[in-house]
Amino acid sequence: MQKGNIGVTTENIFPVIKKFLYSDHEIFLREMVSNAVDATQKLKTLAAQGEYKQELGDLTVRVNLDTDKGTITISDHGIGMTEEEIDKYINQIAFSGVTDFLEKYKDNANNIIGHFGLGFYSSFMVAKKVEIITKSWKEGSKAVKWSCDGSPAYEIDDAERADHGSDIILYVDDDCKEFLDKFKLEGLLNKYCKFMAVPVAFGKKTEWKDGKQVDTDEDNIINSVEPLWTKTPSTLKDEDYKSFYRTLYPMSDEPLFWIHLNVDYPFNLTGILYFPKIKNNIELQKNKIQLYCNQVFVTDQVEGIVPEFLTLLHGVIDSPDIPLNVSRSYLQSDREVKKISTYITKKVADRLKAIFGENRKEYEEKWDDLKLFINYGILSEDGFYDRAKEFALFKDTEGKYFTFDEYKTLIEANQKDKDDQLVYLYATDKEEQYSYIKGAQDKGYSVLLLDGQLDVPTIQTLEQKFEKSRFTRVDSDIIDRLIVKSDAPKNNLSEDQSDNLSAVFRTQLPKIEHTEFMVQVDALGAEARPVVITQNEYMRRMKEMSRFQPGMSFYGQMPDSFNLVLNSDHPLVKKVLDESSAATEEALKPIVAELKGQEARLAAIRAQQDKKKYDELTQEDKDQKAEAEKAVQEQKDKKQAVIAEYAKGNSVVHQLIDLALLQNGMLKGEALDAFLKRSVDLIK
C-alpha cells in the first residue's frame, strides 16, 4: 500500500472547493461522466490508430446509485490508469504557483476546478470520500485502488478489476443527500449528459408489471450519441428538425424557422437555432439556447456568445473553441467569442433573407411572430438594421405586407406634409382606433398596423434611419393636422366665444385617475366630427417607451394627457355655443365687465413693474401685483361657475363628451350607465 499527500501545500483545499463552488455543486456529475466519456473516446481513438488491437466491446458509461450505501458510482470501459498515471493526473495537481493557490483563487473560485485538469476534484463538492478503482488498457497492467477522505491524504492499494476502465465511487456527504434521490440524479443526467458522444446508462428501463413498475434487462440510456446538430444538414428533413425541437422543448409550439450552423473556420461551431413563437413576455423567453462543448452541456446563459436579440432564439450551440472557465458556466469575453457572435448574427440574417426570397408568402404568414426578433435586433444590435432592411416588413391595416422600400414608394406621392416630410401613419389596434383609421383612409392615406410588443420603440430607430420621415399615430391629432398640407383654416369665433365654448365642455369633463384633458377649438369643417379626442404623439410614445427603458421612468409617472378638440364648424357645436351664450349672457355681463377692468389693471401694473429689475421691486409692488392677479382669478372662477351651472343641464354637451370618450374606450362604469340612459331619453 502506498500513502501520501496530494500535491498541494494546504490542508484546506477541499473545504475551499466545497465552499466556493457550492452554488454550482451539481456540475460534479457532468465532470465525472464527461471524464468517463473522454476516457472511452480515447480508447476508440487508440483502436482506430491500431494501437489497441482487441475488441472494443460494450463502451457504455454507467451511473449507478446505491441509496443504502449512500454512493454514486460512475463506471467506464475506457483507457483506465496505471499507478503512475494516478500519481501524475490525480495526486500531482498541475498548475503554476502551487504555494499561492488559496490566495490566488479565494476571490475567483470559479477558476478552481479547471486548474485540476480533468475536473476530477469537483467530486469533493458532494462527497466525503472518493474511491477510484482503475485498470489501464496497456498490456500487463494491474488494477489499483485510490482513495481519499477529503483531506490531502490519500491511499493507493492493489485492487481487482476484470477489464480496463475506471469506477469512480462517491460516498455522498451528509449535507448533499439530495443527490441520492433517483429522480434528482436522472434529471441532472438529462440536463448535462443528454447528448454526450458515448452511451450513458442510468439503471435499467422499467415496465408496468403486476401492478407496479419493475426493472427490465434493458439499459436506461439517457443520451443521444448522435444529436441532430452533428449531422450533415443535407441529410435531414423538416420533420427531423421539428422532432428534435420537441425533444428539447416538449411543451412548446412548433417553431417558425430554424438555422443549422456548421462552420470549421476560423473557429469550430455547430448547432441548430430555432425561431420560436413568442406570445407575450420577452424575458420569459430568454435563455433557451443550450451551450455545449463537444456534446457536454455547459450552460443556458449564453450572453456574450449570442447577440442580445438572438437570446430569444431556442436551440443548441456546440463549440470546443468557446473559452470557458473551470465550472464551464461562465464565459470569458475575448476576440474569439466576438467572432462567433458576429458569425451567428450574419448567419441568422442570411437565412432570413433567403427564406424571404425563396417563399415570400410563407414568410409573410409568419411575420407577426417573427417581427419581434427583427425589431429586437434593430433596437439592440448596432448594424443589424443594415441587414434587416432587406427582409423586414411593414403590415398595413388591410393585412398587406411591404418591404421598407416598397412602402415608401406607395406613400411618398400622397403622404408628404408641407415641409416635404414623409409621414408614416400607424395604428396599434384596428378595432379601438377604427374611426381614426377610417378617417385617414377616406383622405386616401395608408395606415400601418404596429401592434407588436416592440413596434413602437422600433419606430423611434426607424425615424433616425429613414430620410426626412416621421411616424404619427392616427389618433394623435385631427385628420387635417396628421399630415399638414397647408396652413390650417382660421377659427371664425372671437376669443371670448372660444373661451366660453371651451369652458362649457371643460367643466363637464369627468375626473379620470391619472388623466388630464386640454380643450381646444378648431374649424374642422361641417362634415367632420363635432368632438374628437387626440393624444400627443411624442408624449404617448415616451410613456410607452418608458416601459422598456428604465431611464425613462419619469415619463411613465406622468399623467396621460389628452386633447378634446371642438369643431366650431359643426352644427351641434354651433348650437351649444348659441344656446349657452343666450342662457348665460345676463349673468355674465357684470362678471365680464369686472373681469376686463381687473385684467386692464393687472396689465398696467405688469407694464409698470417690467421697467424695474426684480431686486428693485418693493414688497408693496409685489403685494399689489398679487392682489390684482387674485382679483382676476376670482372673476374667472365666477365666470366658469356660471357656465358650469348652465352646462350641467345641457344633455347635448354631455352626450358629445361621452361619445368622444366612448370612441377612445374611456367611458366606463357609472358614466357609461348615465350615457346609456341619456341616449334612450334623447331618442324618445
Residues annotated in a binding site for ATP: 31, 35, 76, 81, 96-97, 328
Annotated binding site: 31, 35, 76, 81, 96-97, 328
Residue whose cell numbers read 351651472:
645
| Long-range contacts of the stretch 437-443 (C-beta < 8 A, 24+) | 437/397, 437/474, 439/474, 439/479, 440/474, 440/479, 440/482, 441/397, 443/479
Q: Give the phi and the psi of residue 32 in degrees, each rounded to 5.
A: -65, -45
In contact, 274 and 372? CB cutoff 8 Å? no
For strands 314-318 and 288-293, give the pairing: parallel
Q: Using the Cα atoms of residue 157, residue 160, residue 165 and residue 168 in order, give the sign of their dihedral.
A: negative
β partners of residue 296: 293
Q: Is the peptide bond before 266 cis (omega within 30 degrees of 0)?
A: yes
Q: How far are the Cα atoms of 86, 101, 113, 413 from residue 93, in angstroms, in the given order?
A: 11, 11, 10, 76
Q: Give the phi and the psi of residue 4 in degrees, each rounded to 5.
A: 180, -175
Q: Quick check: helix, strand or coil at residue 196? A: coil
Distance CA 464, CA 461 (A): 5
Distance CA 225, CA 545 (A): 47
Distance CA 401, CA 507 (A): 45
Distance CA 473, CA 36 (A): 62
Neighbours of 86 (CB within 10 A): 22
Which residues does 654 contact at the CB level (< 8 Å), separation at least 6? 508, 674, 675, 678
Which residues does 499 contact at the CB level (< 8 Å), separation at least 6? none
The CA-based diameter of the chain, rounded to the nearest angstrom, is 122
Helix (H) or strand (E) holding 241, with range, is helix 238-248
Smallest Cα–Cα separation from 378: which of 283, 290, 452, 315? 452
For strands 153-158 and 165-172, give the pairing: unpaired
Q: What angle do CA 457, 461, 463 make, to 5 degrees?
A: 110
Which residues does 214 contact at the CB level (< 8 Å), separation at least 6? 206, 207, 208
Distance CA 147, CA 165 (A): 16
Smallest Cα–Cα separation from 172: which of 185, 154, 183? 185
Smallest Cα–Cα separation from 294: which of 321, 259, 332? 321
Distance CA 275, CA 312 (A): 8
Distance CA 671, CA 649 (A): 15
Distance CA 533, CA 562 (A): 7
Neighbours of 624 (CB within 10 A): 17
Q: How far are the Cα atoms of 27, 473, 530, 627 from residue 78, in angstroms, in the given order?
A: 21, 68, 86, 99
Number of alpha helices (DSSP H) and beta strands (DSSP E) in the chain: 22, 22
Neighbours of 313 (CB within 10 A): 26
Q: Using the Cα atoms of residue 492, residue 498, residue 501 and residue 505 in order, give the sign of their dihedral.
A: positive
Distance CA 142, CA 616 (A): 107
